[in-house]
Amino acid sequence: MSQPFLPFARPDIDEATIAGVVEVLRSGWITTGPHVGRFEQALSSYVGGRTVRVLTSATAALEVALLVAGIKPGDEVILPALSFVASANVILRIGARPVFVDVDLKTRNIDLDQVEAAITRRTRAIMPVHFAGLPVDLDRLYSLARAHQLRVIEDAAHAIGTYWRGKPVGAVGDLVCFSFHPNKVITTIEGGAIVLTNADETAAVELHRFHGLRRDADGESEVYLAGGKYNLSDVSARIGLGQLARLSEFVSRRQHLAWRYLDALADWTVGDLPARGDDGHSWHLMTVLLPFEELGMTRPGFVRAMRDAGIGIGVHYSSMPSFELYRKLGYDHRAYPNADRIGRETVSLPLFPAMTDLDVDRVCDTLRRLAKPARASVSAAPVRAAERAAAAAKR
């Protein structure tokens, strides 16, 4: 009897939340309304009382954060070469210049040594990504930013539920942006948020997310800037309230599953596993690197083979400088060798709270069965295998 298909990700929305959404639909008020305010207040409590404003996506949050931080055309923003392409696209959209730096091969997080080397007189901000929920070294990051008088816009799309030194990401720092996409730790269907530090920037976010418009007590309107339309609906906010209440439950389960993966693959020398992190890692993704040339297959071929075996696989992410848009702008992906290799070799294994331990074992067994060096590449395999064995011994 065949086993049911195991997707790469699946949101977990409970019946109480579904019933709450039905109440919102029946209320007749389904756009931005009271539930958005409640969701923002709940998020504020989560990050220690700081101000939070929600938007329709993390992409919108990042773009608006750049604008309220005063980033202008011609300014430079430093970011990792490895992320979802939205991280760089939002910089281009406001006329600034993305300055890519390489990432660490194990953590997939931005290399802070290279950040310092990339700072010029045009640099105005650093935009790190907490990859897969593993936090960047915030102490060192903010020390560097203060020394050079730079803004920090944390791309925390992966990091709701992540902790740094006992505090949730977002509880300290400058501008911090979350994602509530369906494959993230919590979801609002689509949605995002910005954590803010002062009243003026909060007011600016409110203008940018709704046409630059503000109404007075009499209902009269004035427009102050050419804003977008990024306001979250009450339907999404009601889902977010139900999800946020279960955040610790979701993170705990993700950690358990991630650690089971790492333990089950501890002796596996074909692929490279991600850094384990500590109890603060929320584990948005479980990524591994596979040497497809040695395996005698392509990544699409591997993804198809896993799908044929009933297992969904994701790809997170390609190196951003490798995309045509950025090649045409003069970027060379070879200048970022770690991001380039990760971009070629990465695959993401299923990881979501409803998975069982047996699901993890099934993925690992299938991975071992399919990811074997091709005979034609056997001569090269021992060297790579020895390198991976040495790395595994250090984990």
Q: How confident is the model at residue 373 (pLDDT cuts 50, 70, 90)?
A: confident
Residue with the larger pLDDT of the pair 380 and 263: 263
Helices (H), 55-98: 58-68, 86-93
Q: What does the pLDDT average to over 353-369?
A: 98
Spatial separation of the C-alpha atoms in residues 104 and 318, rounded to whole Å: 15
Residue 382 identity (one-letter amino acid) = P
pLDDT in tens, 152-165: 999 999 999 999 99
Mean pLDDT of 330-335: 98
The span from the CA of 340 to the CA of 333, in Å, is: 6
User: What residue ranges do the domains of the chain occupy?
Assistant: 15-244, 247-394
**pTM value?**
0.93
Which one from 72, 106, 167, 184 is the annotated catalytic residue? 184
Provide the CATH topology of domain 15-244.
Aspartate Aminotransferase; domain 2 (3.40.640)
pLDDT computed for residue 381 by the predictor: 47
pLDDT category of residue 375 using cuts at 50, 70 and 90: low
pLDDT at 374: 79
| Max Cα distance, the chain (Å) | 78
Give the dihedral of Cα atoms 27, 28, 34, 39; nearest 10 deg: 80
Handedness of CA 30, 33, 34, 40 (dihedral sign): positive
* Mean pLDDT value across residues 307-312: 98
SS in 3 state form for 1-58? CCCCCECCCCCCCCHHHHHHHHHHHHHCCCCCCHHHHHHHHHHHHHCCCCEEEEECCH
Cα separation, 208 vs 284, whole angstroms? 29
- Asked if 15-244 and 247-394 have one fold, the answer is no
User: How many residues can be counted in the chain?
Assistant: 395
Domain 247-394: CATH superfamily, name plus number: Aspartate Aminotransferase, domain 1 (3.90.1150.10)
**Which tens digits make up the pLDDT trace of 59-98?**
999 999 999 999 999 999 999 999 999 999 999 999 999 9
Query: How many percent of the chain have pLDDT more than 70?
Result: 94
Q: Which pLDDT belongs to residue 1?
A: 57
Confidence check: pLDDT of 392 > 60: no
* Residue 72 annotated in active site: no
How far, in Å, CA of 169 to CA of 157, rounded?
11
